[in-house]
Amino acid sequence: RKEVEQDPGPFNVPEGATVAFNCTYSNSASQSFFWYRQDCRKEPKLLMSVYSSGNEDGRFTAQLNRASQYISLLIRDSKLSDSATYLCVVNEERNYQLIWGAGTKLIIKP
Amino acid sequence: EAQVTQNPRYLITVTGKKLTVTCSQNMNHEYMSWYRQDPGLGLRQIYYSMNVEVTDKGDVPEGYKVSRKEKRNFPLILESPSPNQTSLYFCASRAGGPEAFFGQGTRLTVV
């Protein structure tokens, strides 16, 4: 079983719609969680951290469910520019490692 | 401007011909790492370094070497490249927190 799992997609979503995807992690001792965004053939960039109480950044909302060991990302009013691959990342602070999911591809269509 | 610089961006080479991909960061980060990214597999860590002269294997270190003689540089060395090392490679650096800063990537093809 992979340590961090994501549905690879692609999710094909019309512009303006709301889309959500999850990421599950296997290590219950994981401490911190993040979403990165990666545009085609580009480097990943930090999108947002995920806090226990949930957090919002504009149209993006991230949530953590420790009991079920998953994090989620919700995008409201999706834009064409949101088309990208979204990578779930778990920080295992005990050994200072970032564990990466394989990514979920999102395609926003006009 | 804070950045991580990788070179070259694109490289086509032949099996067995030693190559080095350079990585340099100007943010004084202690932690640097190399990843390869293949379709469906996501980012897999090859090697990482927590400081000068401190390096350790990641998940897929076979066929690769690294060195960390200076804080800013972390080259990736392929002593005898093989076709299964054809991939997209990223160097990344970070300070104590979770935000990793990536280079623009090196697309390597080994024929």
Residue pLDDT, tens place only, A72-86:
999 999 999 999 999
Average pLDDT, chain A: 91
- Give the Cα separation of B92 and A107 in Å (integer): 26
| Chain A contacts in chain B segment 49-88 (CB below 8 A) | 50, 88
CA dist A35 and B99 (Å) reads 10
| pLDDT reading at B98 higher than 80 | no
pLDDT tens for B28-82 read: 999 999 999 998 888 999 999 999 999 999 999 999 999 999 999 999 999 999 9
pLDDT at A61 over 80: yes
What value does the mean pLDDT take over residues A95-99?
A: 76
Contact (Cβ atoms closer than 8 angstroms) between residue A48 and residue A36: no
Q: Which candidate, B66, B84, B64, places its Cα nearest to that of B74?
A: B66
pLDDT band at residue B95 using 50, 70 and 90 as cut-offs:
confident
Q: Is the pLDDT of residue A95 over 70?
A: no
Residue of B50, B99, B104 lying closest to A43 (CB–CB): B104
| Closest CB from A32, A45, A102 relative to B41 | A102
pLDDT band at B25 (very low <50, low <70, confident <90, very high): very high
